[in-house]
Structure formats: C-alpha cells, structure tokens
Chains A and B, each alone.
Chain A
C-alpha cells in the first residue's frame, strides 16, 4: 500500500496516461501584436427583448449573447433601443465626460502627492453612469470601487468626493477611509469596502428587507468579474434566487483583475451572465461600452424587480482601459495595444457619435463640453484644497479617530484617545 502510494509517473505498475495541469493564459502579453478578430461580437439590434416578467430560463440565450444597440453606423438598432430623448442622451454624455475628466485630474493629483491613491474607471463609464441613470434616485446602490460614475450621476458634489480623496478636514468620512471609498446615505450610495464582493450579499439583504417591509425600492450592486470568484458572490446569487429578491447584480467584466485576465475567474468556460442562469436568475450580457444597451438592460432588470419578478444578473462586457490603480503598471502584464484594438471601442466616443448622427450634437460642442468638464473639476479641486490635502496637517481632530467604533465611546477607547492626544504634544509640539 505504502509503496503504491509513493510510486510516481513512469514507475512500475503505472501505465495510465499522465495527467496535465492547466493554467489559463491570456492571449496577449507585453509586446504581442493584438488580434481580437476571433472575439464573438454579435450584431447590434439582433437580440430579442423578452418581456420583463419572463422565466429566468428564457434569458439563457441572452446570457450567452451580447445585447447591443449602437452600431458602427452610430444609429440605434433593435428592440433594446431604450429610445431616450436627446436631452437625456446629452445628460448621459455629460456625466460620462465629467467622470472621465474627474479621473484624469485625480490621477494627476495622486502623482503630485496630494493623495496616496486613486483608481480610474476609464472605458467603463457607461457601466456606472448609464446603469445608474436607469434606476430611481432612491434605489439603493452597493457599488465596488470603480462606480464613481453613479455618485456623479446622482449629483453628489465633486468637492465632497475630492475632500474624501484628500482625507482633509472637509472629508465627511473624517480621513478614516482610503481614497475613493466613498459613502453617501443621502444619495442611497452604500459605503464602499476594500474587501471584494462583500457588498453583494449585503445588497441582496437590503432588497430582501425592502420586500419584507412591502417597500417599492430596489437594490443594485456592482462587482468586477474577478471578484465573482469570491464566495460572497455565490451567496448573493443564491440568496437573491431563494428569496426572489428585488436586486440587480451587475458584473463589470473589464477583462482584468489587476494582472489576472478573466480566465482566472472562470471566464474561459462560461460567460459571467451564464452563472446567473444556473441559479435560476434572469441574466443578460450586454455590450458594456454601449451606453444605450447598458441603460436598456438595467431598466429591464429594474422593471422586473419592481414587478416582483425577482433578481437579474447583468454582465457588462467591457475593457479596463487604464491600470488597475495608481499603484499598478499594466505594461508589465498585458499588451499596450489591447486598449486601442478593443473591438467595442470607447463608450464616450460611441455615445457622442450617436448624438452627432441624430443631429443633436457636434464636435465643437463636444470640445466645449470637455473643456467645461475639466474646468468644473479644476474649480472643485481648488475648493477642496482649501480644506487641505493628505499629510498637510489639515485633518480631523485626533479624538475623531476613536469615535464611531461604537455608538458610544467605551472606557478603553477613552483611555486610548487621551493617549493619542498626549502623544501629539510630543510628536508635533508646534501644532
């Protein structure tokens, strides 16, 4: 027995074929020429739009297809065209452009040492802005760290966002949280956590509570495709299905989880939307760079949830155009050509071209919009800097570090707060 156990390949008595260990590998690495021609991209307008009250299994085809509205001709096609008015489309474009301008400036701010950290959402603006616009203002959103577009779409002041990023004395979160981990109850925007996918069962729980209390509000959550590998995502899908919770589970498949391509989250075997079908959840897979398709899918799911039709999983097929964060260098693990070769293009350019196609926009107005957005962010930055930037001493008082651990300060935190204040006089006597 012991001998048999210890015998390896090629040893006596071992005549079975050798097993092969498989480790997924992305198609392109740094320096490679990128060719996305074998990526299966469906034609805009060709996907059927079932009734919102359909059975989950009736969405199986859509979970393995790609819902698209905007074509190469810049026109809107097919049953998923949400038929939005030009003012709504311009509002969507403005919000996406503002989100991008905000990202650009905050990234620079990090490089200038005004803050420790930043994460852009470049290329994914539609998955937050268009999706967020399809929800009611009091629907509760449980985002990950790359949905700043929702906060901007809901009118959260840029100055407040920057205060948080700078951890200054104006920061509503009192400098406790890493930059971009926003929270705004007034905007039904849940507090962002660094722990991935934890918000997904929480969103389901919120939606369950809304149903338990016979409310009419629904919940929506966002998670990256990499984080769907977490156990929490399984729990979220399961609870959403079991209790028919009025929740939308958005999976932003931007192809990359830091340096790991989507194959490490299981993307080579099945679409991320297809997982929803396995739980008995209606599931849609959309072109995440097509703002109209994203809006339409989110609206479909919201209608379904409001009609007690239950949860929906939406996979937003997109591409993370920039590095994972200011601490990341994507040139170390992927081809620099990928961004430009991405076959679904850029969400802002595509929406802009659509508006021009409709005769509701032009390049000059776009240029002006971009300038206005940059100015707006610059003004907000200047305003926020009056409250200080990270490490310049204009932070919240020391005792606030000990508050809100509990509702009331227990004796041991009282003692530790006194210690911190005592230490301040030694560390910073000039303060």
Chain B
C-alpha cells in the first residue's frame, strides 16, 4: 500500500517528540500515503481532538478524510464497519476508553466477526484509537483499562504502545493491518514517562531515548514484544504506563530484572515471554486494570502452562484493585512502586 520505500531508520532525520505528536505524525503519514484512510470521532475534526492527537489534520487533508461525529460510539463504530465494507480504512477515535461500551456490540458482534462469518468476503480493516488508563485523577470514567474485554474477543487485535517511537510505528502498522485493531493510548504518558511517583514533577519525553522519532514512514510489526531491559533476576511482563513504573522500581531497587513491554496483547509474542521466563525462572505481571479476569490472568496461565518446570517462584500479578477507579484515593488504588516492590521482594525471596 505504501509506494515509497521505507526510510532507513538509522539515517532518517529524527526529532524528540511526545506521544501525542508521534500519533499525530502517524495519522498524517497514513492520510498522505493511503487515500482510503479516514479519521472520525467526537471533536477530532476542526478542533483537533481533546488531546490534540488529530490537530491540523482536517485542515491539511480535508473534511472528506477527517471529520467530527455525533456523540454516539455505536454510530461511530457501526459506520466505520460499513466504511470498511466499502473499502475504506477507517481510524475512528473513542474519546476515552471508558466510553467505548456503547460501541461494544459493533466491535464484538460485527467488526471482530466480519471476516469469519463472511468467509473473507467482507473485512473490517479499522483501527479504533482510544486514550486509556489512569494516573490523571480521571475518576471512574476517565481512567479505566478495559483491554481484557477486547483480548477475550476472537477476531480483535489489541495494541498498547508505551513510547513515542513505538506509538508511531505501531499505529502505522495497526492502520495497515487488515484486521480490526483496538489501539489503546496510555494518556498518563502522552506528555512524558511516569515513574509512579505522583508527587515528583513530570518528566518530559524529550529527555527519554525512545522519544527520538524518525520522520517519515516506518512501522513496527504487531505481535512483537520489546525488551525494555535485559536482566537475569526475574521477568516483568507489562505494557503501557506500567512499563515505566516497573522500570523505575527495578532501577531504584537495583534489581536485575528483564522487563518486557508486550506492545501487542493479541496476538501475543509468546516466544519472547517463554524465552525470558525460561532464562530468569521468575515472573511478575504488572497492569493497571482490575485484577480478576484481567489480562494478567491470561499471562499468568500461559507462563504457568508453558514454563512450569523453569519456574522457581509462583507467578505474581500486580494490578489495580477489583473496584471501580476511585477519584480521591487514586494513589492508593494505582499499582505503584510500593505494590510492585513488595511483589518483587516476594518473588526474589521464594
């Protein structure tokens, strides 16, 4: 679909940008390269999105390509399925992942099953972008992490970046993918990585190595994890904001952890997980989402089933509590350094 040859990344001009800018760049590139790409959602057009992810795109690419929609998630996803059936490649935005539920029948019953039930006659090559996750005093309906609702659905891919570099490359790959992709953007780290210490000043992305983003087109294959840090003491499986929190905790504690940013939850990079756990013999799973039936349960089961004889300690999960996301007690709820630290101690002691 992309006519020009991919840029040699090593030589490409690059700049330090934040995750919002990286997403905006990816959308701009895909709008420019593929005339079937269209962007739609609440406030994404003239205004450029409540998080500025689509800023300037309508002006540059026109209202036929980038436009505002009624406040109707069912309508947004439903129309996107129809556009996909026509032959477009829609990139609908759901303003907050907490508001994806009115569109969930269209995602689960339609987008996810279109290819299967029509034996490939119709497909839904759409990418649903949505900011997710907590850590911003968003309360119950601006903080949720509903990824396990989607990883449970056959036919959907779920992608979660944790750096500007990955956000751009993964979003381009998601848009090019011929299957429906749920693309959750951890809004806590839109403007800078987060250590988990809410009382420390926010560090901007420009000081972070992974904010160096090449200009032009590049993509990162879906289904491939990224080793954030190599180590021997234990394997940490995580994604999104929790990549940075986990990294900060391990650094602070001086633990030689191997941190794996899954990046894609479905399809999962099982080979990377197996290789790491077989090496370290210990595994910690970290996510913001609530614990029971969260994606961590699937990870824990897979590690136990496939790496059992290499394990030297029980697999542990550090997650949000099984409550709705609270407002005033956010930092008691958030799976921060104390909870992660305790779990690491427990695993290393075993």
Contacts and interface: CB of A to CB of B under 8 A. Distances in A.
Contact of A195 (B64, B83, B109): B109
Nearest to B179: A406
A183 B121 contact: yes
Interface residues of A, number: 46
A238 B78 contact: no
B79 A208 contact: yes
Contacts of A232: 74, 78, 105-106
B118 A191 contact: yes
Contacts of A235: 70, 72, 74-75, 78
Contacts of A219: 82
Contacts of B268: 412
B102 interface: yes
17 contacts: A142-B82, A191-B121, A193-B113, A201-B82, A202-B106, A202-B110, A209-B87, A212-B38, A232-B106, A236-B75, A242-B69, A404-B116, A407-B115, A410-B266, A411-B267, A412-B267, A412-B268
Interface centre among B70, B81, B117, B120 (most CB of A within 10 A): B117
B307 interface: no
Nearest to B120: A404
Contacts of B86: 140, 205-206, 209-210, 213
Contact of A208 (B83, B113, B271): B83
Interface in B103-125: 105-106, 109-110, 113-123
A201 B79 contact: yes
Contacts of A405: 115-116, 154-155
A343 B79 CA distance: 38
Given A405-B115, A407-B178, A203 B74 contact: no
B84 to A, nearest CB: 8
A185 B119 CA distance: 11
A201 B116 CA distance: 20
A204 B69 CA distance: 13
A294 interface: no
A250 to B, nearest CB: 16
Interface stretch (A6-14, A54-62, A79-87, A168-176): A168-176
B80 interface: yes
A231 B110 CA distance: 15
B85 interface: yes
Interface in B40-70: 64-65, 69-70
A300 interface: no
A173 B117 CA distance: 7
A212 B88 contact: yes
B270 interface: yes
Nearest to A173: B119
A142 B79 CA distance: 12
Given A183-B121, A407-B115, A212 B75 contact: no
Interface in A362-379: none
Interface centre among A203, A208, A411 (most CB of B within 10 A): A208
B223 A176 contact: no
Interface in A177-206: 177, 181, 183-185, 190-191, 193-195, 198, 200-206
A200 B270 CA distance: 39
A94 B65 CA distance: 44
A177 B79 CA distance: 23
B119 A184 contact: no
B212 interface: no
A308 to B, nearest CB: 14
A431 B244 CA distance: 54
Contact of B75 (A184, A201, A407): A201
Interface residues of B, number: 47
A407 B102 CA distance: 27
B81 A242 contact: no
A194 to B, nearest CB: 8
Given A195-B105, A242-B70, A406-B179, A205 B79 contact: yes
B129 interface: no
Contacts of B106: 198, 201-202, 232
A411 B274 CA distance: 13
A239 interface: yes
Contact of A209 (B88, B105, B117): B88
Contacts of A242: 69-70
A238 B178 CA distance: 28
Interface in B151-174: 154-155, 157
Contacts of A202: 78-79, 81-82, 85, 106, 110
A88 to B, nearest CB: 29
Contact of B78 (A172, A201, A213): A201
B83 A205 contact: yes
Contacts of A193: 109-110, 113, 117
B78 A407 contact: no
Given A404-B115, A405-B115, 13 more contacts: A181-B117, A183-B122, A198-B110, A202-B82, A208-B82, A209-B38, A209-B87, A239-B69, A239-B78, A405-B155, A407-B115, A407-B178, A407-B179
B102 A231 contact: yes
Given A201-B75, A212-B64, A407-B178, A176 B117 contact: yes
Contacts of A203: 82
Interface in A383-424: 404-407, 410-412
Given A411-B267, A412-B267, A205 B82 contact: yes
B75 A239 contact: yes
Contacts of A173: 117-119
Nearest to A171: B119
Contact of B80 (A183, A194, A205): A205
Contact of A190 (B78, B122, B154): B122
Contacts of A185: 118, 121-122
A201 B155 CA distance: 20
A340 to B, nearest CB: 38
Contacts of A198: 78, 105-106, 109-110
A239 B155 contact: no
A231 B75 CA distance: 9
Nearest to B266: A410
A204 B85 CA distance: 11
A238 B82 contact: no
Nearest to A203: B82
Contacts of B110: 193, 195, 198, 202
A283 B204 CA distance: 55
A173 B64 CA distance: 34
Contacts of B115: 404-407
A326 to B, nearest CB: 21
Given A173-B117, A191-B122, A412-B268, A406 B72 contact: no
A184 B120 CA distance: 11
B72 A183 contact: no
Nearest to A406: B179
A194 B114 CA distance: 12
